Amino acid sequence: MKNAGKEEDQETGKTVVLIVDDNENNLQITAQVVHNAGYQVLLASDGAHALTLASEEHPDVILLDIMMPGMDGLEVCRHLQSDASLASIPVIFLSAKDEDESIETGLDIGGSDYITKPFSEKVLLARLRSHIDRSRYQRELVDLNVTLAQKNSELLAIKEDLVMINKQLDGQIQHNIMMLAAINDQVRNPLTIAVAMIEMSEPENGPEIIDALRRIDAVIDDIDKGFIESDKIREYLRKHHHHDTP
C-alpha cells in the first residue's frame, strides 16, 4: 500500500493519503479502507516518521491520530503548519470520543477536521473526498492566480513596449514634418521658380528640362503623400488600438 513517489502518483492520477497512528491494528484497518477506495496510502506509526514522509512525499491529505507517545498528533500538526510547503495539506484528526479538548486544540492550530474512533467507513471516505476536493480546488485556484499574474506581467511589458514605440513614432513624425518643410523651402519652391523661368525664356531644350523637373516634383509629391499616409495610419492606431500619444 505504500510507497510510490509523489511524482509517480501525480502521473497515475492517484491521490496520496498519509495515515499516522501508533496502534498497528488501527493503522492497518484504516489503511485497508483507504486503499480499497482507490487512494495511494503512506503509513507512519509515530510523529517523527510522519513529518519525514510529509516532507518527502507531500500527500494530498493526512489522517492523524491525536494520542501518540512521544510526539503526539497536535505537535505533528504544529510542525506541519510551521512549514510553508506543508501547511496547506488538510489534516483530519483521528480521536477517541473523550478527547474533545484535544480536538478543539487541533482545529485551533490548523487541523481541517476530525473523526472519532471507532469510525464509520462511509463517514471516513466522505470526509476524505470532501477535503481532497477542496484542497485540489485551492491548488488549482493558486495555479490560476499564478498564471494570471504572469499574463498580467506580460501584458504590462507589451504596454510598455507600445508606449515606447508610440514615442518613437511621434519622434519620426516630427522628423518627417521637418523634412517636408525643408523640401518645400529648399527644393520645391526653387523648383517652381525654375520651371516658370524656363517656360518664360523657352530655351532650346526647355521641354526636356521642364519634364525632368516635373518628374522631380512628382517624386517630391509622392514623398509628401507618404507623410500624409503615415499620419493616417497613426490616427487609425490611435482610434482602434488606443495608442494614445503620451
Q: What is the DSSP string of 73-120?
A: HHHHHHHHHHSTTTTTS-EEEEE-TT-HHHHHHHHHTT--EEEESSPP
HSE of 20 in the Cβ direction (CA atoms, 13 Å)?
A: 31
- Residue 140 domain-assigned? no
Number of domains comprising the chain: 2
- Residue 133 domain-assigned? no
Give pTM, 2 decimals: 0.58
Domain-terminating residue out of 119, 137, 170: 119
- Residue 107 domain-assigned? yes
Short-list 71, 80, 77, 70, CA closest to 93: 77
Q: Within this chain, do residues 107 and 21 fall inside the same structural domain, yes or no?
A: yes
- Residue 125 domain-assigned? no
Q: Within this chain, do residues 106 and 186 fall inside the same structural domain, yes or no?
A: no
Q: Is 16:40 a contact under the CB 8 Å cutoff?
A: yes
Q: Within this chain, do residues 48 and 95 fall inside the same structural domain, yes or no?
A: yes
Q: Within this chain, do residues 94 and 186 fall inside the same structural domain, yes or no?
A: no
Short-list 81, 103, 79, 101, CA closest to 92: 103
Q: Is 71:111 a contact under the CB 8 Å cutoff?
A: no
Q: Within this chain, do residues 93 and 14 fall inside the same structural domain, yes or no?
A: yes
Q: Within this chain, do residues 64 and 165 fall inside the same structural domain, yes or no?
A: no
Domain-terminating residue out of 119, 144, 170: 119
Domain-terminating residue out of 73, 92, 119: 119
Q: Within this chain, do residues 28 and 87 fall inside the same structural domain, yes or no?
A: yes
The pLDDT value given to residue 181: 73
Q: Within this chain, do residues 88 and 165 fall inside the same structural domain, yes or no?
A: no
The pLDDT value given to residue 42: 96
Q: Within this chain, do residues 14 and 110 fall inside the same structural domain, yes or no?
A: yes
- SS3 of residue 18 by DSSP: strand
- Residue 193 domain-assigned? yes
Q: Within this chain, do residues 93 and 166 fall inside the same structural domain, yes or no?
A: no
- Residue 54 domain-assigned? yes
CATH code for position 75: 3.40.50.2300
∠54-60-66 over CA atoms, to 5°?
A: 60
Q: Within this chain, do residues 12 and 105 fall inside the same structural domain, yes or no?
A: yes
List average pLDDT for each run of 10 residues in the chain, which is 246 residues long: 44 77 93 94 95 94 93 94 92 84 90 88 92 85 87 88 82 75 67 68 67 70 64 59 48
Q: Is 77:91 a contact under the CB 8 Å cutoff?
A: yes
Task: Residue 64: give the domain boundaries.
Answer: 6-119
CA-based max dimension of the chain: 124
CA distance 73 to 54: 13
Q: Within this chain, do residues 110 and 180 fall inside the same structural domain, yes or no?
A: no
- Residue 130 domain-assigned? no
- Residue 148 domain-assigned? no
